[in-house]
Homo-oligomer: A and B are copies of this chain.
Amino acid sequence: MPTTSAIPTRERIVLASAELFRRQGYAGTGLKQIVGEAGAPFGSVYHFFPGGKEQLADEVLRTGGAFFLALYEAIVPPAETLNAGIEAFFAGAGLTLEATDYADACPIATVAGEIASTHETLRVATADVFESWLDALARDLGTAGAEEPRALALSLLALLEGAFLLCRALRSTEPMRAGAGSALALLPQPKEIR
């Protein structure tokens, strides 16, 4: 059990759940394991989340989605060019996969695939998160001169998500490097020669 007593119980539960959900999925994670990892009493889950595991998962998905969006905003828009920003984002994804032994990928993908047909509330949460990422990406693609920013944003996000899945299955960052190359090829070409 990690010594995390400086962090409030509610937050420890959310953090532990986020880690477990993305490594082993929603159905494969029990409340008992969550409170164990969080170092929290069993009853505390229902105290903070009266709706139980589904309410907890809804918050975990939305929190993880907001964090990933903040990561995007911190990396891509400040970069010198959109190309450089996208390249850095894909490279960071590959490094994170390696550093976590291919466990830590997208904060919502594992659960998103698992619950899309079975838990409508959680599906809506994943849709909201994906849309928030697509909005930010389409905004920057539009600024960079993309003709169809929304369609291109969908493709770049699909490339990233698909590469996450392939990297984890193959235990290699080769799919992420290939995805990065294709992402750059799809970006609008800078108007001036650099």
Interface residues of A (CB under 8 A from B): 23-28, 101-103, 109-110, 112-114, 116-118, 123, 126-127, 130-131, 150-152, 154-155, 157-163, 165-166, 168-171, 174-175, 177-179, 181-182, 185-186
Taking the closest CB of chain B, its distance from the CB of A16, in whole angstroms, is 16
Residue of A27, A113, A182 with highest tally of chain B CB at under 10 A: A113
Chain B residues within 8 Å of A28, by CB = 25-28, 114, 118
Q: How far is the CB of A172 from chain B (nearest CB, A)?
A: 9
Contact, CB under 8 Å: B155 / A159: yes
With contacts A27-B27, A113-B114, A117-B24 taken as known, whether A178 is within 8 angstroms of B166 at the C-beta atoms is no
Decide: B159 and A178 in contact? CB cutoff 8 A: no
Looking at the assembled complex, report how far the CB atom of A124 sits from the nearest CB atom of chain B, in whole angstroms.
Answer: 9
Pairs across A and B, CB under 8 Å, 14 listed: A25-B114, A102-B116, A112-B169, A114-B114, A123-B168, A126-B169, A152-B178, A154-B166, A154-B178, A155-B181, A157-B162, A158-B159, A158-B178, A185-B185
Minimum CB–CB distance from A135 to chain B (whole Å) comes to 13
Q: Which residues of B contact A112 (CB under 8 A)?
A: 165, 168-169
Residue numbers in B under 8 Å from A118 (CB-CB): 23-24, 28
* A160 CB to nearest B CB, Å: 7
| Top 3 A-B residue pairs of the complex, sorted by shortest distance between their CB atoms | A158-B162, A27-B28, A162-B162
In the bound assembly, the distance between CA atoms of A88 and B183 in angstroms comes to 22
A175 contact set on B, CB distance < 8 A: 154, 157-158
Q: Which residue of B lies closest to A181 (CB)?
A: B151
Cross-chain contact A114 with B24 (CB below 8 angstroms): yes
